[in-house]
Structures are given as C-alpha cells and as structure tokens.
Amino acid sequence: MGENNFFEIREFKSLPSTNLYLKENYDEFRDFTVVIADAQTNGYGRKGREWNSSKGGLWFSFIVSTDDPFFWISCASVSIVDLFPELKIKWPNDIYFQNFKVAGILSEKIKDKIIVGVGLNVNNNINDELKDKAISLTNIYKKKFSTKNLLNRILSKIYDNSQNYENIFEKWRNYSIILGKKLTIKVSDKIYQGKVVDLLNTGELVLSDSNHKRKILYGDIIRWEEI
C-alpha cells in the first residue's frame, strides 16, 4: 500500500453485518477504518436484500467522510476488477463474471460520512438457489484464495486509485459490461429499452432510443444484449 497506515483494519470472526457495525459505532472510528468479518449473520445488500455471507467470502466495510459517495463506491469496484481482469462492472457497481454476480457493493450514509460495504464471493459456497445468478472466485479460477491477502491487495488498489479522480471513472467506463449494449431497465414502475451510449461521472447511465436520450441514476437492470 502506498501509505501503510492509510487503512486501519478491525477483524472479527462473526458480526451481524460489517456495515451495520460501522453505522452503529461510526463516531468511534476514524476515516478509513476497515471492519472485516469472517462471516456475517445478517449481511444485507441494496434494497435491504439478504446477502449470503458464510465463511470463506470477503465481507468488509470502510468508513470515509465524503460528499461524493459515488467516487468511493466506484473506487472499490474498479479496484476489484483491476485485480481480476476477467470480471466486469454491471452498472452501477456490481461485479460480474459473464452473467454471474461475483461481488456487490453497498454504501450507506451516516451524517457526513459514508460506509462502503463490499461483499465478494471468494471460497464460500454458493447456495443452490443462487447458483444460476452468483459465482465465486474459486469457481472461476479453480483455486482457493487467502481472504486476508485479498483484502490487503484490494485496499492497496483502493488507495492507489483514490489518488486519481478521473482515472477511476475512466476505468469504471472501460470495465462496464453494459456500455454499448442494448439494455432493458426498470425505473420505478416503468421499463425502458435502448442502447447505453454513455456512463457519466455522476453515476448516471445514458440510454438512447429512436426518440431521445434519457439519463438514469437509479434502476434495476433486467437484461443486457449485444446489438
């Protein structure tokens, strides 16, 4: 890592959720405190969805004062793809291998800080009901990884990437699995279809159909296809 003591790591065998732990204790920790748990008993993802967090996966969160959450979320996602070039980013910041999700990132705001939680399937078992949607690094690379070693490599990348603002968004676009593709997306209760023509530093995707261009900040991707 460029700065040895940039991050301060707190390790736990088990926690309900590393995000929740930082959220509940945010005033005790300095910026760039990292909380990692071998397992989470109540891990959650975006929209409060359950996040399967058994032993063998990498479940961690860090806290930072910022007015630009999207910068830090993207910094985390591009740092993972820097290490594993076979992976791609599914807007906004899910990490995919082909059609399977490998990692998810959840940010939560508390006062002037955000907590960025990273869930990366490493050696953990993927449940039968998730097998058609999720995959682990072990499944992809056919080997086991040291989660502690992986954490250090990811944090080191996050530090390096965070030094260059533009570079993060450049990589975020380059690593995108949807840019240039035909996209079907649900926004509130409407479904839109079109070509993804751009991804903006604000986090918006630009969807173009025969009539006009639409900027979308929040939405659930239904599918993406080659044009």
Q: Which residues bind ligand BTN (CB under 6 A)?
A: 17-19, 40, 43-46, 49, 51, 53, 59-61, 94, 104-106, 117-119
Nearer of residues 51 and 159 to ligand BTN, judged by Cβ: 51
Asked if 63 and 32 count as a contact pair (C-beta separation under 8 A), the reply is yes
Q: Which two tokens stand for residue 32?
A: 């760039």
Angle at 223 between CA 218 and CA 224, to 5 degrees: 100
Beta bridge partners of 47: none
Q: Least distance in Å: CB of 50 to ligand BTN?
A: 9
Nearer to ligand BTN, 60 or 72 (CB): 60
Alpha-helical runs (H) found in 26-130: 69-83
Closer residue to ligand BTN, CB minimum distance, 106 or 122 = 106
Using CA atoms, how far apart are residues 21 and 63, in angstroms rounded to an integer?
11
With CB atoms as reference, the residue minimizing the distance to ligand BTN is 104
How near is the Cβ of 22 to ligand BTN at its closest, in Å?
A: 9
For ligand BTN, the closer of residues 186 and 213 by Cβ is: 186
Tokens of 216: 């979308």
For the bound state, the minimum distance from the C-beta of residue 167 to ligand BTN, rounded and expressed in Å, comes to 24
Angle, to 10 degrees, between the axis of helix 147-162 and the axis of helix 69-83? 130
CB contact at 8 A, 132 and 138: no
| Residue 200 C-beta: closest distance to ligand BTN, Å | 21
**How far apart are CB 62 and ligand BTN at their closest, in Å?**
10
